[in-house]
Amino acid sequence: MSTTSKTITLTLFITTTLLASCNAAANATTKPLFPAILIFGDSTVDTGNNNYPLPTIFRAEHFPYGMDLPDGKANGRFSNGKLISDIIATKLNIKEFIPPFLQPNLSDQDILTGVCFASAGAGYDDLTSLSTQAIRVSEQPNMFKSYITRLKGIVGDKKAMEIINNALVVISAGPNDFILNYYDIPSRRLEYPFISGYQDFILKRLENIVRELYSLGSRNILVGGLPPMGCLPIHMTLKFRNVFRFCLEQHNRDSVLYNQKLQKLLPQLEASLKGSKILYADVYNPMMEMMQNPSKYGFKETKRGCCGTGFLETSFMCNVFSPTCQNRSEFMFFDSIHPSEATYNVIGNLLDPKIRGKFQA
């Protein structure tokens, strides 16, 4: 073989090797860590289930909700854009938007890569959903069973269970329980005169949900803690903190105590459920950090929502007649309860490496 031929052959070999390495690196980067994502909980992760026949007043299928989505249309998400669940799914290369399970025109691909079972206004306490007419968190596993049946019809029993076993399950609920049953409407206070007792009741309900999802095949579970509930704009308003807009410190301390108990519970649950991996998602500390150092994250307003006055408006009260702020990315909250997409992006950026660290190992 001539020197020229050897040079060409060597060049082709090196080029092919480099291309193969680049493709392998690209596939490693873009290949989803999980085949599907499955969502349970309340309005922080409800992507539109409450749009469908439910007698609930908690809906977000009207403007200005969804105004910063690609099509600018409301679709049931309680924010100006993506929810934290969408952001996690996007970062993990699963899909950009998670459809609600009750959406009537779900495609087979939607089913294969995961759906949302969450319902705005829901809580771990069935009494919460009774007052809001949302789909109880304890009822959402029944929707999951229907999903599994459809999934099996698409790919067969074995492949379906492989998807379920390897999917990421996200559970996010809790604030409605404390706000609706303990703080603002004290319907549980007679039964639980001390907040610690009610926290333990909620955590037991959460444990039951995790165990049920495990029994249905779920193995990778992310559980969200409570936000700083004393700093929610509507909560400050209802407690007459609307002049100086300072947080209710006792309620924040309650959130911290609950989160500490949850962080203690989850490793115990993981140890008792063979093959499971359960990760705590901290939302409290990132939100407090954003409130204490807003300019670091591009925020100018952390004590009221972008919609209307920002003190009370949410759901049907945040509507087409409500004046809306121009710079949504400068507001931590979109309405008086729910974070803006900008806030969810910050939390998503913090959660992404933790998810990869826990579930890639």
Q: In 3D, which of 212, 141, 201 has the Cα closest to residue 177?
A: 201
Is residue 131 among the annotated active site residues? no
The pairing of beta strand 220-224 with beta strand 301-305:
unpaired
Q: In 3D, which of 216, 206, 356, 227 has the Cα closest to residue 269?
A: 206
Q: In 3D, which of 41, 28, 14, 8 has the Cα closest to residue 213?
A: 41
Helix (H, G, I), strand (E, B) or coil at 308: coil
The pairing of beta strand 331-333 with beta strand 220-224:
unpaired
User: Which sign, positive or negative, has the C-alpha torsion 216, 142, 222, 228?
Assistant: negative
Interhelix angle 284-292/249-272, rounded to 10 degrees, is: 150
- Judge contact between 336 and 229, C-beta under 8 A: no
Residues forming beta bridges with residue 40, ordered by sequence position: 171
Catalytic hit among 43, 218, 336, 340: 43
Catalytic hit among 42, 125, 338, 340: 338
Is residue 335 among the annotated active site residues? yes
Other C-beta atoms within 10 Å of 10: how many? 10
DSSP state letters, 45-79: T-SSGGGSS---S----STTTTTTSTT----S-SS
User: Which sign, positive or negative, has the C-alpha torsion 54, 59, 62, 67?
Assistant: negative
Is residue 251 among the annotated active site residues? no
Catalytic hit among 235, 335, 336, 340: 335
Sheet holding 277-281, edge to edge: 37-41, 168-172, 220-224, 277-281
Which residues carry out catalysis? 43, 335, 338
